[in-house]
Amino acid sequence: MFVDSHCHLDRLSPDTCDGDLDKALNAARARGVKQFLAISVTLDGASELAEIRSRHDDVVISAGVHPLQELEQEPSIDDIVRCAEEHDAVAIGESGLDYHYDSVPREVQHERFARHLQAATRLGLPIVVHTREAREDTLALIREHSDPDIGGVLHCFTEDIDMARAAVAQGFYISLSGIVTFRNAESLRELARCIPLDRLLIETDSPYLAPVPYRGRPNQPAWVVEVAECIAQQRGISVEEVGMQTTANFHQLFRRAAPSVDDELRQQLINAGMSH
């Protein structure tokens, strides 16, 4: 089984399964994808994701504001907490720092990220972190404001192994997307070989970043399997082992993500994954 730990189900392209979300999810389920974490990029957007979740038992959602989202008024810690509670989010985010575009001033990004980290700590929820070309500042804010016992995930990771290891030391997981399959992504494939398997997650970030052999097309949750296959090839293990372990990791991190799975089965998944 597989989990798509990061997808934007409210943004799927009209070219994806005829623009039909149900078809896109069914296509993923047919390949063994058992759960989907639908990611919020605005607090208002969490309500739309909650409506999607109400129709699909295997969808869970986050609540947060993307670092490059331009806002007239910044949300307070209370605003983030209230949104997450109202919509029964299993995670805070995505939030973080992005210095590649700098469309939102860095000081605004820093303050926004710090508030999200504090909201996550208050709620006891993991945080989904977007980080791009901001290694030291991202790690500094995580160290200052996050609780290692709660942790989070650096999603769609494209930074170096040293940053990954530093994040793992702070209780974080590393999530790999379709980028790991790209021809010029050898450094990420090295990371896929080196990072402990019990600290990896897999994602699509759909509708963005479709993996090989689908590059150039809108991404969809079914293609998280290609990410797992690439990791399996790099590590010399079966794709089933990657699926089992990353699913166990997902449930270990996002503890509120599987209310329909009884506690005994959830613990079996975690134990099975950690035994590999």
Edge-to-edge strand list for the sheet holding 91-98 = 2-7, 33-38, 59-63, 91-98, 127-132, 152-154, 172-176, 200-202
Residue 110 is assigned to a ligand binding site? no
Rounded distance between C-alpha atoms, residue 239 and residue 130, angstroms: 26
Q: Is 155 annotated as a binding residue?
A: yes
Give how far the C-alpha of residue 164 lies from the chain's centroid of Cα atoms, to the nearest Å: 15
End-to-end alpha carbon distance in the chain: 15
Residues 154/177, Cβ–Cβ less than 8 Å? no
CA distance 61 to 79: 17
Is 79 annotated in some ligand binding site? no
Say if residue 6 carries a ligand binding annotation: yes
How far apart are alpha carbons 42 and 238 in whole angstroms? 37
128-139 burial, b for 16+ CB within 10 Å, e for fewer? bbbbbebbebbb
Peptide bond into 75 cis (omega under 30): no
Catalogue the long-range contacts made by 19-22 (C-beta closer than 8 Å, 24 or more residues apart).
Answer: 21/52
Cα–Cα nearest to 221, from 1, 9, 49, 69: 9
Residue 130 marked ligand-binding: yes
- Would you say 205 is a known binding-site residue? yes
Per the annotation, where are the binding residues?
6, 8, 94, 130, 155, 205
Per the annotation, where are the binding residues for a divalent metal cation?
6, 8, 94, 130, 155, 205
